[in-house]
Structure 1
Amino acid sequence: MLKELTIKNFAIIEEISVSFSDGLTVLTGETGAGKSIIIDAVHLLSGGRGSQEFIRHGAKKAELEGLFYIQNPQHPVFRKLLDVGIETDDDSIILRRDINDHGKSVCRVNGKLVTIAILREIGGSLIDIHGQHESQELMDERLHISLLDQFSGSKLHRAKASYFGLFQTYTKFKKELAAVSENEQQIAQKIDLYQYQINEIDSTELIEDEDEKLQLERKKFQNYHKTFERISAAYEALNGETKGLDWIGNAMSELEDVASFDEAYKGQAELVSNTFYSLQELSYQLKSEMDESEFDEERLNVIEERLAVIQLLKRKYGNSIEEIMIYREKIGDELDALVNRDERIQQRQKALDQVVIDLEIEAKELTLYRKKASKKLSEAIVLQLRELFMEKATFEVIFNTASNFDKNGKDDVAFYMSTNVGEPAKPISKIASGGELSRMMLALKGIFSKHQGITSIIFDEVDTGVSGRVAQAIAEKIAHISHSSQVLCITHLPQVAAMADQQLLIKKEVTGERTMTKLIEVIGKSRVQEVSRMMSGAEITTLTLEHATELLSIAEQRKKLLHA
């Protein structure tokens, strides 16, 4: 339910903060007092289209905030919040929207910034706004099949889940079949391209890590002269008179001589001796490498050419030899599929044909469940209409078989009704009378409100154009709907106001040189006076006060009967 609503600098509202109760809340007041402005604010809070025109004159921005309490942990809004990464610590959800003087909106859900689209999706699962002349969700034929399915119960839901799994397989097979059934020109072009690419890669005879090894060898050739010079210098430092080995040899002789009469120096003599012979062996190796070393320019050219070929393949097919080979394997499989496409087409068509047979069976089962449910739904809605004094009205669910499967089967479903004897049934969206449209919508809402999971339902003067016993019937129907969902209702009917669990009076006042809208909860004598005003107009007499008191008393009795 919508627990609290705060509105700042919106239209002629400077600031209003109001708490709503469970059940039925009515908003009453003189025409032009700003009742619809409250509904406009809730509409924007749930993702409706906004502009800077809504900002109160002289203000920089309009601020709207609503606190919702959701008692059902399985409510679909929690799944939507989770999908967009918004967590809830308890059963409360806060929607906030600021509109600046450039018409831009900043939207938040539980403090997290979201887009208008996300706000609209979340708000749409919490709030359902109905106005007499607006396009109603229940009047949209595209949604009738889902409404019927909600009414149908668990058996259809299980059958529908089974059907939908099969439908996903059907969709997958159709896409695969379409992919292998492309036109011949495109297929021929792909075959030529893949064959060329495969030949280009295969003719290169790539070896794993070949490029890395070639780059190391190239680096060696590029540094040949520097390497030769350093090796020569190292060799010269070790060999020759008065060079490294001569001095180390002298040290070795001296220490060996000392060790011959003092064994304490034996270890040191051995260490120098080992070092001398190791360095001598190293000098032989360096001499051998110098003698055998040769700069092979032809080999360097071969390396450069090979690396250039590999680099060309990398630019075309991958960043490494491994990626090139993976691509080669991939297009090899695709080429095989294209060359043998006729066989594959036959295989996929056969699989698709079998799925179609199974889908037909599943779809027919859905149709049977729906037709059974449609009879019960028709009876329930006709009963609702009779309670709203549309005794001659009929209601029926029209079925047409679609040419193709969709996620719901092959049923096209539409709600039809007739309000007058002798008149053929027509789509409910074609009903002309405003009063009949209001009652039809209330009848449907009375059936579907408990199935749709909407937290708050808002009726914006849906009772316009009715009076007398019809007005009383509409009042009781709205009160009945408020048992399963919180209902906020703007009304001019005293019968509806009398049935409310909470009544809010909206007044327009002039303070200084500014017009402001204020909202006051009316209880006790104040409520009697407001209902009296609704009954008689501006002049409140003793008699109208008595009638208002009587109406409120009768309403309390009827509410007890509704709750019984």
Structure 2
Amino acid sequence: MLTELSIHDFAIIDELSLTFHEGLTVLTGETGAGKSIIIDAVQLLAGGRGSVEFVRHGTKKAEIEGLFSIDSRKHPIYKVGRNYGIEISDNMVVLQRTITSGGKSICRVNGKLVTLAILKEFGRTLIDIHSQHETQALMEPENHIDLLDLYDPEVINQAKLAYHQIYERLQTLRKRYKELSENEQEVAHRLDLLTFQMEELEQANLIPNEDDTLEEERSNLANYDRIYVGLQDAYNALYGEQKGIEWLSMSLRALEDNKNYDPFMAKKAEELANHYYMVEELSYDLRNYSDTLQHDPDRLNEIESRLNEINRLKKKYGSTVNEIIDYMGKIQEEIEEITNKDSHLYKLENQIDETKQDAYLEAKQLHDIRKKAAGDLTKEIHYELKDLYLEKATFSIAFASKEDVESDNGINPPPLKLHKNGFDFITFLISTNPGEPLKELNKVASGGELSRIMLALKKIFAKHQGVTSVIFDEVDTGVSGRVAQAIAEKIGHVSEKSQVLCITHLPQVAAMADTHNLIEKVEKDNRTITYVKELSKDETIDELSRMITGAKLTETARQHAKEMLILADSIKQKI
């Protein structure tokens, strides 16, 4: 769960530190007090899109930091951590996000710098943010397949991965077939270019690692004087009259002449003898290597010329000689492929057919898994909708597919058209009144009904996904009365499986809270700032009264608020 949240210079928040608890935490306050700004901050921690508009006016950067406690070693965050080499110790994860006034975004996970994409991957396993915008996304049928796949993600994602691998290979083969079969003029131009490149590279007669070898030889020739003088100085310091080896020899004789009188001298005489012969052999190596050196200006010019030619080719074909040689192999294959185009097209056709068959089998398996998931999800949604006063609603998940006309080839019936998600096209259908036919959500569902359907989905997904924290941002808009109470109870149910943070204007939802935070804004030094206060029981009663009646508190409203809290307590005991 989200344990600590620290916000600095973010929008109208100068500095804010919040501690969150298990269960349901509600955030209430007047419109414009900054409730949604806090959710925006959490959304940025989860990898949401940043903007310089979030940086508080007059400051250099906005900083957000969140501490998450993980209560299970089986949580998917551990797998994500292993994938990116980020250690998760003490069952805690710290996400950090900094946005500078210049528009730069800096992301960290447990102190390690990461990309925004990696931060988002961590965020999606920790936080599930549900807003009014997401409810609107439920209206778009193209989003329904992703929602269905969230129902049993572990099984479905495994099948999707297997399908995606084959589908990507199929797309690559199709692209190559199209390139080779279409536009004869472009293929001819491509062949001319490849032939020219091949002739140029063959004339160069490149040898593997030639550039490294020549660079080393050039360095030796260019520094001949320094190398030769260095070798001579080293050799002369060791060999000759009154030089290093002669002094070592004198030391050795002194020890050997007296080794019979002292075991220590005998031992050191033997050690020095070994070193003496090693140094003597080293001096011979210096002399012999010095004799092999030749000062050859013509060879140096040849090397410079050859390296210039190689560097010219590097600019066109690769950063090293070995990369250029690899490129030669690739263009040789492509030349052969274009030259024998008909046979290669035939080969590609067979490969495409075989890969398409494999992809179809994987898509069929994915379809079967989705069918089962759709049946189970439909049953659970009906159960949840009854609690949300949509007991007469009928929900269904429709599966459709399209014929692959391009691949018909006289086959009856023609094969199904594959896309990135298999061959399924998913649409959520609903009928909210008895006797009415099932229709797409966007054609029959009102805003309040959509909120209830999405809330039902969230409750189900919270159970299946194991997300650490679920955040509801004014999902109760457009509802009242007994529906509001039903939504409050459903959010309470979600908080039994996951930590829930909820921004609400409904007193029924606020009464269900385990922790009630009031968000207010005040002026300080001619600047507007936001602060958060955790309410006591009496303060909670006052805030609920305000939510019921408006700004003016009455004893009747206070009594009503007390009754709501008593009712909420009784409901929570049954959950």
Decide which moves more: 368-377 or 149-158: 149-158
**1:526 and 2:539 correspond:** yes
Paired with 2:389 and 2:461, the residues of 1 have a C-alpha distance of: 20
1:156-555 to structure 2, matched below 5 A, reads: 159-160=159-160, 162-178=162-178, 180-181=180-181, 183-194=183-194, 315-316=312-313, 330-402=330-402, 403=404, 404-421=417-434, 423-429=436-442, 433-510=446-523, 514-555=527-568
Give the superposition deviation at 1:488.
Answer: 0.6
Give the superposition deviation at 1:431.
Answer: 5.5
Q: TM-score, normalised by structure 1?
A: 0.71
**1:89 and 2:85 correspond:** no
SS of the residue 1:487 aligns to: strand
**1:145 and 2:145 correspond:** yes
Which digits, 9 at most, give the CA deviation of each residue in 1:502-525, with x for residues without a partner? 111223345575544332212333
SS of the residue 1:390 aligns to: coil
Decide which moves more: 314-323 or 538-547: 314-323
Q: Which residue of 1 aligns with 2:574?
A: 561
Give the superposition deviation at 1:25.
Answer: 0.6
Decide which moves more: 553-562 or 169-178: 169-178
CA shift in 2, pair 1:138/1:312, >3 Å: same
CA shift in 2, pair 1:553/1:157, >3 Å: same
Paired with 1:324 and 1:530, the residues of 2 have a C-alpha distance of: 73
Structure 2: gaps of 5 or more residues: 218-297, 405-416
Give the superposition deviation at 1:458.
Answer: 1.5
Paired with 2:474 and 2:342, the residues of 1 have a C-alpha distance of: 64
Q: Is the 8 A contact 2:484 2:506 kept in 1?
A: yes
Q: Which residue of 2 aligns with 1:5?
A: 5
Q: Which residue of 2 aligns with 1:43?
A: 43
Give the superposition deviation at 1:121.
Answer: 4.5
The one-letter amino acid paired with 1:457 is V
Paired with 1:16 and 1:482, the residues of 2 have a C-alpha distance of: 24
Percent identical pairs in the alignment equals 50
1:18-57 to structure 2, matched below 5 A, reads: 18-56=18-56
Q: Is the 8 A contact 1:129 1:459 kept in 2?
A: yes
Give the superposition deviation at 1:177.
Answer: 3.4
Paired with 1:52 and 1:306, the residues of 2 have a C-alpha distance of: 55
Q: Is the 8 A contact 2:135 2:450 kept in 1?
A: no
Structure 1: gaps of 5 or more residues: 217-299
The one-letter amino acid paired with 1:20 is F
CA shift in 2, pair 1:23/1:191, >3 Å: same
Paired with 1:335 and 1:397, the residues of 2 have a C-alpha distance of: 51
Paired with 1:86 and 1:206, the residues of 2 have a C-alpha distance of: 44
Which digits, 9 at most, give the CA deviation of each residue in 1:154-199, with x for residues without a partner? 7666655554454344345434534543533333344445556666
Paired with 2:198 and 2:101, the residues of 1 have a C-alpha distance of: 61
Give the superposition deviation at 1:389.
Answer: 0.6
SS of the residue 1:472 aligns to: helix
The one-letter amino acid paired with 1:30 is E
The one-letter amino acid paired with 2:128 is D
Paired with 1:165 and 1:209, the residues of 2 have a C-alpha distance of: 36
CA shift in 2, pair 1:57/1:409, >3 Å: closer
Q: How many residues align?
A: 477
Paired with 1:440 and 1:455, the residues of 2 have a C-alpha distance of: 22
1:98-113 to structure 2, matched below 5 A, reads: 98-102=98-102, 104-113=104-113
Q: Is the 8 A contact 2:96 2:108 kept in 1?
A: yes
The one-letter amino acid paired with 1:535 is I
The one-letter amino acid paired with 2:454 is M
Paired with 2:505 and 2:130, the residues of 1 have a C-alpha distance of: 16
Quick check: which has more Rg, 1 or 2?
Answer: 1
Q: Is the 8 A contact 1:34 1:507 kept in 2?
A: yes
CA shift in 2, pair 1:175/1:503, >3 Å: same
Q: Which residue of 2 aligns with 1:232?
A: none
Paired with 1:153 and 1:100, the residues of 2 have a C-alpha distance of: 36
Paired with 1:31 and 1:329, the residues of 2 have a C-alpha distance of: 67
Paired with 1:320 and 1:60, the residues of 2 have a C-alpha distance of: 44
Paired with 2:321 and 2:158, the residues of 1 have a C-alpha distance of: 52
CA shift in 2, pair 1:521/1:348, >3 Å: same
Paired with 1:461 and 1:138, the residues of 2 have a C-alpha distance of: 16
Paired with 2:321 and 2:47, the residues of 1 have a C-alpha distance of: 52
SS of the residue 1:381 aligns to: helix
CA shift in 2, pair 1:376/1:85, >3 Å: closer
SS of the residue 1:466 aligns to: coil
The one-letter amino acid paired with 2:572 is K
RMSD: 4.1
Q: Which residue of 2 aligns with 1:288?
A: none
Give the superposition deviation at 1:555.
Answer: 1.3
